[in-house]
């Protein structure tokens, strides 16, 4: 018995098992509601931006009209830019008029989903190199969007930053309250906190970026001095030590920002501090305990990948079961689809890695088109819930990691959290009423207590 107690104590001292609570917290309806709302807002914006479709892509019908030696498997110019940039010019030239066009948001969304699915599978297999490679592909897609369509990309990415800043603050606050106090707050508590601290949430990730860009500008400006005839190289060599110092500060900012940016929202959610204190604490935690930070992040990434694959499997079983059962009862063929039955005509078969399915190219009747659109929206809602879980898990896991790093570096207990005065004032009447209801009422004819005291006229023991 004592041995079991000692093992439990050792396990509790490890503290990293707290990360495994992220799944339970992230699937709470209030957290999913916050994340789903953020995704829905960005989806509507992306739909509006995609009213014009400038992205070159290929189709089977286009492939049949071009020479065979010019046939490439890459579905869009984004895939060609990432995987075979040397063929990008030829790809655009061939498919510019032969193939259909797609919207920027739809192209990015499809690319991100495919690479994210590959990355989670590789993480579950402990293939970190492959996972980092897919993460690099996702980062490259941002570069492609900014270079190819700068104006629309700037609008979308700026809106995404604003939406996820508020969403991340709300999710981090909700997770922090549940972790520290054992409560299950509703969505409005986190949203109100995020808007009250919105300046801190916005400035925290932008300030390190501004400092990094300043360092880059300084080095570039000093490099321009080398263009001066005769004396330029001498001036540059004299300033070399200063350039190395700026490079050292630049490297510290890059590493600290890359490793600590995910802790900034949880820090504000836990401590209620401003952006400068948030940046200072996060950088301090990263450089004080770098191996703990790497270990916690790795555990959260592997565990999160497994949980994501499970959630996706749950959604797949849901859609596949409904699709199969409905298909069993329908035996009528579609009006313009040849050998396809009516269900296949309006509802593509869901797949594990493609819940929306692949819709074949054929003409539909008016009623089939309307039915296909309604079913598409319903399936898209399920996909949105899966994506909302990913967002919720990301901020929840980082909130747990912050609490663990705070404990390891500062020795602060996991249940210490900043509580606003307004929240205390709202909770006090509720707690008072609850306490009054729970206290037993004394009968009016009570006499003395055990020490011989007598009741006064006001009911107090004298």
pLDDT in tens, 448-458: 343 344 333 33
Instruction: Give Cα separations from 286 to 26, 44, 188, 259, 298 (angstroms).
Output: 24, 37, 31, 7, 14
Examine the fold and report which residue of 288, 307, 334 is the final residue of a domain before the chain moves on.
Answer: 288
Candidate from 97-101, 167-171, 176-180 with smallest mean pLDDT = 97-101
Total domains in the fold of the chain: 2
The reported pTM is 0.80
Give CA–CA dist 116/200, Å, rounded.
30
In a domain, 26, yes or no: no
Question: Is 447 a residue whose pLDDT tops 50?
Answer: no
Examine the fold and report which residue of 67, 87, 102 is the final residue of a domain before the chain moves on.
Answer: 102
Instruction: Please report the pLDDT score of residue 331 as a whole number.
Output: 66
Cβ-based neighbour number of residue 87 at 10 Å: 16
In a domain, 346, yes or no: no
Question: Is 274 a residue whose pLDDT tops 60?
Answer: yes
In a domain, 65, yes or no: yes
Residue among 57, 133, 119 at smallest CA distance from 353: 119
Structure tokens at 273: 């501090």
In a domain, 217, yes or no: yes
Examine the fold and report which residue of 288, 312, 329 is the final residue of a domain before the chain moves on.
Answer: 288
Cβ-based neighbour number of residue 154 at 10 Å: 12
Instruction: Please report the pLDDT score of residue 7 as a whole number.
Output: 46
pLDDT digits (tens, 9 = 90+) for 211-227: 888 888 888 888 888 88
Give CA–CA dist 428/422, Å, rounded.
10
pLDDT mean over 105-113: 90
Q: Domain limits at 206?
A: 202-288
Instruction: Please report the pLDDT score of residue 437 as a whole number.
Output: 42
Give CA–CA dist 174/297, Å, rounded.
20
In a domain, 434, yes or no: no
pLDDT mean over 385-393: 94
Cβ neighbours for 316, distance < 8 A, ≥ 6 positions apart? 350, 351, 352, 355
> Collapsing DSSP states into helix, strand and coil, what is residue 53?
coil
Instruction: Please report the pLDDT score of residue 338 as a whole number.
Output: 52
In a domain, 71, yes or no: yes
Host H or E run for residue 294:
helix 290-328
Question: How many CA atoms within 13 Å lie on the side-chain side of 12?
Answer: 7
Question: How many CA atoms within 13 Å lie on the side-chain side of 406?
Answer: 25
pLDDT mean over 100-115: 87
- More confident: 442 or 301: 301
């Amino acid at each position: 018995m004592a041995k079991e107690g000692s093992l439990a104590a050792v396990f509790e001292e490890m503290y990293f098992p707290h990360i495994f609570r992220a799944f339970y917290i992230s699937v709470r309806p209030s957290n999913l509601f916050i994340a789903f709302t953020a995704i829905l807002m960005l989806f509507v914006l992306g739909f509006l931006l995609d009213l014009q479709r400038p992205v070159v892509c290929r189709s089977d019908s286009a492939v049949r009209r071009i020479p065979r030696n010019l046939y490439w498997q890459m579905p869009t110019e984004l895939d060609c830019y990432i995987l075979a940039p040397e063929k990008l010019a030829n790809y655009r030239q061939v498919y510019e008029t032969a193939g259909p066009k797609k919207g920027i948001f739809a192209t990015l969304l499809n690319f991100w989903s495919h690479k994210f699915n590959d990355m989670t599978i590789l993480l579950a297999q402990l293939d970190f190199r492959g996972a980092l490679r897919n993460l690099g592909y996702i980062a490259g897609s941002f570069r492609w969007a900014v270079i190819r369509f700068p104006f629309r990309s700037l609008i979308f990415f700026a809106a995404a930053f604003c939406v996820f800043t508020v969403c991340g603050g709300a999710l981090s606050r909700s997770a922090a309250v549940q972790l520290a106090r054992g409560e299950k707050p509703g969505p409005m508590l986190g949203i109100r906190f995020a808007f009250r601290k919105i300046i801190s949430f916005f400035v925290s990730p932008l300030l390190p970026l501004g400092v990094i860009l300043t360092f880059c500008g300084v080095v570039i400006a000093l490099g321009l001095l080398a263009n001066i005839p005769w004396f330029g190289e001498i001036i540059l060599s004299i300033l070399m030590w200063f350039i190395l110092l700026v490079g050292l500060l630049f490297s510290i900012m890059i590493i600290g920002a890359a490793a600590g940016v995910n802790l900034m929202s949880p820090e504000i959610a836990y401590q209620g501090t401003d952006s400068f204190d948030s940046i200072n604490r996060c950088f301090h935690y990263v450089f004080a305990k770098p191996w703990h930070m790497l270990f916690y992040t790795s555990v959260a990434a592997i565990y999160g990948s497994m949980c994501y694959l499970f959630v996706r499997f749950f959604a797949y079983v849901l859609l596949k079961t409904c699709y199969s059962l409905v298909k069993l009862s329908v035996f009528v063929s579609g009006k313009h689809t040849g050998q396809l039955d009516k269900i296949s005509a309006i509802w593509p078969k869901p797949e594990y890695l493609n819940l929306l399915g692949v819709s074949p190219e054929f003409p539909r009747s008016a009623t089939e088109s309307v039915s296909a659109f309604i079913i598409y929206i319903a399936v898209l809602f399920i996909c949105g819930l899966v994506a909302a879980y990913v967002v919720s898990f990301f901020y929840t896991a980082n909130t747990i990691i912050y609490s663990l790093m705070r404990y390891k570096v500062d020795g602060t207990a996991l249940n210490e959290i900043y509580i606003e005065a307004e929240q205390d004032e709202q909770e006090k009447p509720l707690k008072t009423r609850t306490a009054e209801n729970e206290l037993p009422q004394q009968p009016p004819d009570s006499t003395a207590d055990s020490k011989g005291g007598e009741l006064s006229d006001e009911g107090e023991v004298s």
